[in-house]
Structure 1
Amino acid sequence: MTTHPAHPAARSMTTTPEGLLWEPSERWVRGRKGDVTVVDSRHPVLVWEPGLPVPQYAFPRADVRTDLLRPAADPPTGTHTGSRIFYDLVAEDGEVRPNAAWTFPADDLAGHIAFEWFRRTDTGLDHWYEEDEEIFVHPRDPHKRVDALPSSRHVRVEIDGQVVADTHAPALLFETSLPTRYYLPREDVRLDLFEPTDHHTGCPYKGTASYWSWRGEADVPPNLVWTYPAPLPAVAVIQGRLAFFNEVVDITLDGERLERPETPFSGMLRKASRRR
């Protein structure tokens, strides 16, 4: 048995003095800019920065097309846990993507390079793959679970006292560290009370969502209803169903009014309501 010379010894999650958490991943990961493969690694590591809920990949330098990187012309400060070494990506067609890659200031991760994900920051690489499946937004967290289950529970949704959805056929989506989301059949939602928007978001576990906003005068944020028209296979049961942000509507489950949860989305939703 051989060990990749640039890969840290396999072990459980490790904390660095800088507060980074990291662990080796056994997934084959590739990143591309256009048709050019910039990263091709069978020995990536997952890195969690303090205060960020999602991981990032870092790769042994030998697995990176370093010939496409040059020291950043205008490196940022105060980002990525004190990182000081950043690189601009100079594509073969001459396009420059500033600060597309960096190194973490930790001895454990010496010799590793991390990349931004283009669809999140408008820099970095265009496409990422774990094995042969394209992934989006950020790497999937191996310590996070997402389950979508059909149910016969009774779910009622109200906005400012008005019932906007009522069903006995929801699909419940359970996601680690987030409240249960209730995906409701379209025919059980008063979509005439909402209007579609051009807002879209991506999720590495579910796919790409499209949104609706409330037509009325209630103090609620825009884009409070969403659907996944073509979800990833693991959560296919939510296809075409509609979900509401529990944080800003009133949900009654089997006759019990649920408290509005406080989540990482709560602050964003409150700010969006004030801008209306």
Structure 2
Amino acid sequence: MSTFLTDRDVRTTPEGIVWEPSQRWVRGRKGDLTVVDSRRPVLVWEPGQAVPLYAFPREDVRADLLRLAKNPPTGTHSDSQIFYDLEADGVLLENAAWTFPADDLSGHIAFEWFGRSGRGLDHWYEEEEEIFIHPRDPHKRVDALPSSRHVQVEIAGTVVADTHRPVLLFETGLPVRYYIPREDVRLDLFTHTTHASGCPYKGTAEYWSWQGDDDVPPNPAWSYAAPMPAVAAVEGLIAFYNEAVDIVVDGERLERPVTPFNKALFR
């Protein structure tokens, strides 16, 4: 008879690092070169970081491509933490990999993700699906639900969106996002920008900025042209930062939330 765990095997080290084993097959590549290939990765949450990274047993890593870092970071890491430069395809990537100052994770190596920091490995796969920015948190849920609620979006007193057919996106730890059909949005009041962002749960977003002179941060509206399959219902719809605009749902004006996005929006 098989025995199944009913609770996740989450562990915390004395250093405050949280980690848990993963059963996913994970590969990391630099270009066409496979640097990591593991069926026994662990997810690691470093102190002060909201999103996880993968760490891998050393034997699942192309250790022959690693060199002790010539210029390791200073001032924020333990002396027992080792950083490595990665030499791949004739390119040297500084501080692309590191170990953790925790006995529980000795023998494991983590890698920087290009999509997260602009350096490191640039292609990651869970099973046969490519993932972006950072691993998806198994404790986080994202649901996109069609609705018949009446949603209006206002900027400086102007109604810029009005719909009875939104898709509500519920994401753990964030306010509800209201995705609105383009036909119900005054896109003529906005300018499409070159800004883009990536999300491991939703995909790559394009953005629009408000044309008015009001104190509205840039890029308050976005859309996913080709979202991840799990949130396919938001394809092509427009959403707005609740933090930057006024949203009225079924006649009730929502309070503007304070989230991690506020700092980037109003810097």
**TM-score, length basis structure 2:** 0.95
Write the distance in 1 (CA, Å) between the matches of 2:142 and 2:46.
22
Q: Secondary structure at the match of 2:266?
A: helix
1:206-217 alignment runs, 5 A limit: 206-217=202-213
1:60-209 alignment runs, 5 A limit: 60-79=57-76, 84-91=81-88, 93-209=89-205
Q: Secondary structure at the match of 1:236?
A: helix
Write the distance in 2 (CA, Å) between the matches of 1:153 and 1:216.
28
Structure-2 residue corresponding to 1:266: 262
Aligned residue among 43, 47, 67 for 1:46: 43
Q: Cα 1:35–1:266, aligned 2, differ >3 Å: closer, same or farther?
A: same
Alignment size in residue pairs: 261
Q: Cα 1:80–1:265, aligned 2, differ >3 Å: closer, same or farther?
A: farther
Write the distance in 2 (CA, Å) between the matches of 1:61 and 1:127.
19
Cα RMSD after superposing both structures? 1.4
Q: Give a deviation string over 1:218-257, Cα, whole Å, max 9, x none.
A: 1111011000000011111100000000001100000101
1:223-262 alignment runs, 5 A limit: 223-262=219-258
Q: Secondary structure at the match of 1:62?
A: helix
Deviation at 1:84, TM superposition (A): 3.2
Write the distance in 2 (CA, Å) between the matches of 1:263 and 1:82.
33
Is the contact between residue 75 and residue 84 of structure 1 (CA under 8 Å) also seen in structure 2? no
Structure-1 residue corresponding to 2:29: 32
Structure-1 residue corresponding to 2:3: none
Write the distance in 1 (CA, Å) between the matches of 2:263 and 2:75.
22
**Any gaps of 5 or more consecutive residues in structure 2?**
1-6
**TM-score, length basis structure 1:** 0.92
Q: Secondary structure at the match of 1:211?
A: strand
Q: Give a deviation string over 1:191-228, Cα, whole Å, max 9, x none.
A: 01100000000000100000000000111110110000
Q: Cα 1:115–1:79, aligned 2, differ >3 Å: closer, same or farther?
A: farther
Deviation at 1:83, TM superposition (A): 6.4
